[in-house]
Each structure stands twice: as structure tokens, then as C-alpha cells.
Structure 1
């Protein structure tokens, strides 16, 4: 289990880096084209890696991979527009709201209770968003709004991975996901007017990084290892994403937040971590009771 946690934490590091490299790449590449290039390259890499596995391809893999791929496409398309319109520090924190959206999705689709602790987290997060909106020079801008929508899409993607994927070949599932996201970005690129694009090395390296590490590497590992932990524990680990984006924004891009913005970011982070922490402790207590019952020692009721 320790290996599972280490790998999931490692994915957050590379996902955090995607904020930085996406911001750099978007200086020259329009958002939908960036997603198209990223996931087309990722799909080609995955096709090469999983070439011998194609004989095991079936309708179930196609259906499940495409279903998760739609959420992946919506996540990354909204992600690039959000990062383009705001700082990566603010985008990283707002993306982290996905943890609070997960209970609502589960409630709507499966009828599970939201719980008072989740509602308290949402109220607290609202306070943090208000501080962000009133603390910056531009207030709660368009990029912030899109980044919040991206958080909803991330929640859908996390739930989809947990609920839809079973014992499918993770390489083939990832291949279908990347191809689906690439197809969605390609359609948007064709619909929107495309300005003249001049690609320099920094932009191409940004696409290569985002295709290889946060996409091929991380999503394949997520598909392979997230199934061994609960959604709560996975969500708790994924809250590390904005930590890396804040560090990159501060030290590399020179982003500076006002005291009010830092307070808002801190409150949003706390609003996310507290519900996760409470659910994590509840899960551990339930596991302990189960183990005690299995060993013949009555659990506390």
C-alpha cells in the first residue's frame, strides 16, 4: 500500500508541473490547439507502448475508456482556458475544489448523503473564493470562473475512474481516453478561428512535457493504482497539486499574491482538507471495527 501512496503522490508533482508548462506553452499556442497537440502526442506514445496489447481490445474497453475520456477532455479544455486567464497559483487552488464537488456528484448519480462536514467545507470555500475575488486587482475574473468549472470536471473524472474502470487493461483504456480528449480538442480547434501560430522551442517542450509526464505517465498510473484506494484517500493525496503550482508560480513565474489572496487560498485549502481528513478518520475507524469483529473482538457500536 505504501507503493500505491508514493506513486499517487508522485503524480501530483507532475500534475502540479503541468500548470507551469501549460502557462508557458499558452504564450504561443491557442488553448484548444495546445490540448489537441498534447493529447495527440500522448495517444501516439500510448499506441506505441501498448502495441502488443491491441489484440485484447474490446467493446468494454472502448466504452469505458471513451466515457472517462469525455470527462478528461472537458477537464483539460477548461483547464487551459482557466490557466490562460488567471495565475497558476489561483488556478491550482481553485482546481482543488474538485474534492468538494465529488459528494454532490455522488449524491446526484447514486443518491449518497452529502453530509454536514461537506456542506461546512463548501461554505468555508465560498468565503475563500470571496477573499480571492476581493483581494486581487481583477477580482474573480473569467479565468477563475473557468478554473472553478474545471474543478467540477476533475471531480467527474475522478468519480468516473473510481466507478467505471474495473480490471481493464490500463494501457488500452488510457489510449482510448487520450484519443477521445484529442478528438474533442480537435473539434473545438476547427470551430474556433485559429490565429497565426509560431512555435518556439519553449512551447514545443511544454507540449512534450504535458503529453509525457502529466498525461501518459500520470493518467496511466492513476488508472492502475487509484482503484486500490478509496476516493477519499485519493482526493486527500490530490490536494497536493496546488502546493506544487504555488511553488512554481512563486519561484519560476514570479507570481505574487496579496495578503487577502493568500488568506483566501489558505481558507480554500483548509475547506478541502478538513472534509477529506474527517472522512479519512471515519474510514480508518470503520476498518478497525471490521478487523476487530473478524478477529472475534466485538467492535464498539
Structure 2
């Protein structure tokens, strides 16, 4: 994996982890579909200036390739947007019924699901990646689970969220090398935001006053967590084994705990410290190049 890709995915995990505080505060005033819908639309709007900036002077190039790219861009954007809407909605609903730490652990099950799904898509998953996945999963348990582990309704919602996030990572892996990453990200947020609107209007009671009260969490979750982080995910995943990408993205759980320690003054227990160390060790193990070849990116 190129260092540039690893840095992009690492920064994605960092933003997602630190955005957890903003999401929690925003949910004090807004219901799940309203919060997700508004933040996704903000993310789409935030990317429009970036699309204009990066595409100046590129209007008329190879028209045949342009047609194929447009088709892939629309298909990929719609698929990613629907998956993102479903996963984030299930996660927000699950958080109503289960503890945040437990939800974080179950959500991160995509680090196991992605390589399992990857087998059926003929992705090359070596022994080092499987070992790293096992270590990371154990680390996540130490990091997130502080009480007896039992299965409830909320846990089922969050597990379904992890299942859909796994598919999202694989869909991004398929389309990212073919299309403009910033445009793909913008379309996925637009689709996720639009799909949220009917659920928001039918099942919830969105109020402009509550949106104004939670403007900062919405802006942070929309511009940084959506606009910047998900775009970095798409750009960082180009030509990268999705199993390794999912391992790096799972550091979101570590960064959420560390940000609570640094920003909010929360204490980091010995158990959480062990969990963080194990997860970072898993990422380092997955990054060690094979002796045979360093070209195994897909």
C-alpha cells in the first residue's frame, strides 16, 4: 500500500472518531433520519466547490471514456448513497437501544466481514491480514466492551449496519479506481440525503429551531465527517486491498476514545489502553510488505 493511501485512510478514521462527540450532541436535539439527512445534504453541498476547483479545464477530453465514466459514476454514486443511508440509519436507531461502546464494537465487525466477503470476490487475503483482523477484533473488545456481552434489539440493528458498511467498502473498492472520487462522494451524499427526506417527514418531526440549535454538530458531521472523511475514504481506497482498508478505518474506535481522553478529559482505563495498543499493532502487521512481492494491492 502506498503511504499516501494509508495516510488518507488514517485521517478518515481520525475524523470519524473525533466526530462521534458531534454526532452524540446532535442527537440530543434531532432524530436519526433528520440528523443523517441534513448532514448528508450539507456534505454534498460542501463538495461542490471542490468539484469545480479540481475540474477546471477538463471539460472536453476523451468522450468515449467520459461516457463510460459517467455511467459508472452515476451507478456507483446511487449504490454508495443507498448503502450509506441504510447503514447510518441502522446505526443511529441501534444507538437508541444499546450503549455507544458496544455499538462501536459491533459496527467494527466489518473488519471481519470485508475479508470474508472478499473471498467470494476473489480478493487475495493473506495470513498476515487474517492475523491482523483477529488481533484488531480482540483489541476492539477490550476497547469497547466494559460489561457482560449480551445481545439485544439495538445490537441486531448495529450488526446489520456493520453488514451494510462492509458492502459499502467493497462497492467503493469496485468504483473508486474507475471514477472521480470527489464526484462519487458528492453523489452518494446527495442520494443518502434525498432518501432520508421521506422517512424524516413521515416518521419524525423535524423542526428548524432544533436544526439551528444543533448547527455546530451538523456542520462538523456534514463538512468534516461526510464531506471530507468519506471523500478521503474513496480516494484512499483506490487500488488498496479492501481488507487492509477496513482495518485502518476501524481505528475510528481508538480515535473516539483518545479524543474523549484529550478533549473531554475522560480517563483512559488500562483495558482501553490495551485495546488501543492491540489495534495499532494489528494495523502495523497488516502494513508489513510480503517478501515475495509488494504489488498485491487488489
| TM-score for the superposition, normalised by structure 1 | 0.74
Report deviation, 1:32. Answer: 0.5
Alignment check: 8 A CA contact 2:14 2:255 kept: yes
Match 2:291 to one of 278, 285, 296: 285
1:56-205 counterparts in 2 under 5 A?
58-108=70-120, 110=122, 121=134, 128=141, 132=145, 135=148, 139-194=150-205, 198-199=209-210, 203-205=214-216
CA deviations on 1:51-96 (whole Å, 9 max, x unpaired) are: 4749678222111211222222222212222334334333222221
Alignment check: 8 A CA contact 2:33 2:200 kept: yes
Alignment check: 8 A CA contact 1:93 1:268 kept: no
Structure 1 residues 128 and 98: alpha-carbon distance in aligned structure 2, compared to 1, 3 A threshold: same
Report deviation, 1:258. Answer: 10
What SS does the corresponding residue of 1:50 show, helix, strand or coil? helix
Please list every run of 5 or more consecutive structure 2 residues that lacks an aligned counterpart in the other structure: 60-65
Which structure shows the higher helix fraction? 1
Please list every run of 5 or more consecutive structure 1 residues that lacks an aligned counterpart in the other structure: 291-301
Structure 1 residues 253 and 147: alpha-carbon distance in aligned structure 2, compared to 1, 3 A threshold: farther
The structure number with the bigger radius of gyration is: 1
Report deviation, 1:27. Answer: 0.8
Alignment check: 8 A CA contact 1:101 1:152 kept: yes
Alignment check: 8 A CA contact 1:89 1:246 kept: no
What SS does the corresponding residue of 2:19 show, helix, strand or coil? helix
Alignment check: 8 A CA contact 2:15 2:225 kept: yes
Report deviation, 1:207. Answer: 0.8
Structure 1 residues 88 and 288: alpha-carbon distance in aligned structure 2, compared to 1, 3 A threshold: same
Report deviation, 1:132. Answer: 4.5
Residues in 2 aligned to 1:220 and 1:118: alpha-carbon distance in whole angstroms? 27
Structure 1 residues 164 and 170: alpha-carbon distance in aligned structure 2, compared to 1, 3 A threshold: closer
Structure 1 residues 18 and 75: alpha-carbon distance in aligned structure 2, compared to 1, 3 A threshold: farther
Is 2:247 the partner of 1:245? Answer: no
Alignment check: 8 A CA contact 1:46 1:171 kept: yes
Residues in 2 aligned to 1:253 and 1:189: alpha-carbon distance in whole angstroms? 31
Structure 1 residues 268 and 94: alpha-carbon distance in aligned structure 2, compared to 1, 3 A threshold: farther
Structure 1 residues 25 and 163: alpha-carbon distance in aligned structure 2, compared to 1, 3 A threshold: same
Residues in 2 aligned to 1:252 and 1:240: alpha-carbon distance in whole angstroms? 18
Report deviation, 1:248. Answer: 4.2
Structure 1 residues 159 and 199: alpha-carbon distance in aligned structure 2, compared to 1, 3 A threshold: same
Residues in 2 aligned to 1:21 and 1:258: alpha-carbon distance in whole angstroms? 23
Q: Which residue of 2 aligns with 1:8?
A: 9
Q: Which residue of 1 aligns with 2:247?
A: 236
Residues in 2 aligned to 1:289 and 1:178: alpha-carbon distance in whole angstroms? 32
Structure 1 residues 213 and 147: alpha-carbon distance in aligned structure 2, compared to 1, 3 A threshold: same
Q: Which residue of 2 aligns with 1:30?
A: 31
Residues in 2 aligned to 1:285 and 1:114: alpha-carbon distance in whole angstroms? 12
How many residue pairs were aligned? 282
